[in-house]
Amino acid sequence: MLTWDQLYTTIAEAAGVAPKLVHIPSEFLASLNPSERGNLLGDKAHSAIFDNSKIKRFVPGFVATIPFHAGVRRTLAWFEADPLRQIIKPEINAQMDYYIHSWRKVTEPGGV
């Protein structure tokens, strides 16, 4: 079992960077982007444990053999193998920056 912080830290480490984790409540994000309200306040707003019991019912011999940290490294290698897979979407980066800046304005003394 991995927490969201552990997942993101593992991904960052596989990418060779230090994570900069920012914890922003889903309700706050939904207030900034009402069109995402259903997404943010549904499954993503609650902690959960994901398991593979369903696949094991349909494929009884299934065994997960690749640990998350190794799978992340393999996935990053796949992206890095082809520049066409390495598409940065400036609008997504701008949206994430907006969320972080907005959160810091309400949580840090003097805002940002």
Number of independent structural domains in the chain: 1
User: Model's pTM, two decimal places?
Assistant: 0.77
Segment 72-77 shows an average pLDDT of: 97
- How many CA atoms lie within 13 Å of 92's alpha carbon, on the beta-carbon side? 3
Report how far apart the first and last C-alpha atoms of the chain are (Å, whole number): 35
Query: What pLDDT is stored for residue 24 in this prediction?
Result: 93
Residue 32 domain-assigned?
yes
In a domain, 39, yes or no: yes
Classify residue 49: in a domain, yes or no: yes
Q: In which band, very low, low, confident or very high, does the pLDDT at 111 lie, cut at 50, 70 and 90?
A: low
Tokens of 31: 């207030």
- pLDDT tens profile 87-105: 999 999 999 999 999 999 9
Task: Encode burial over 30-56: b for 16+ CB neighbours within 10 A, e otherwise.
Answer: beeeeeeeeebeeeeeeeeeeeeeeee
- Is 61 part of a structural domain of the chain? yes
Is residue 51 pLDDT above 80, yes or no? no
Q: What is the pLDDT of residue 109?
A: 81
Q: How far apart are CA 6 and CA 68, in angstroms?
A: 10
Which domain does 68 fall in, by range? Answer: 4-107
Q: Is residue 112 part of a domain?
A: no
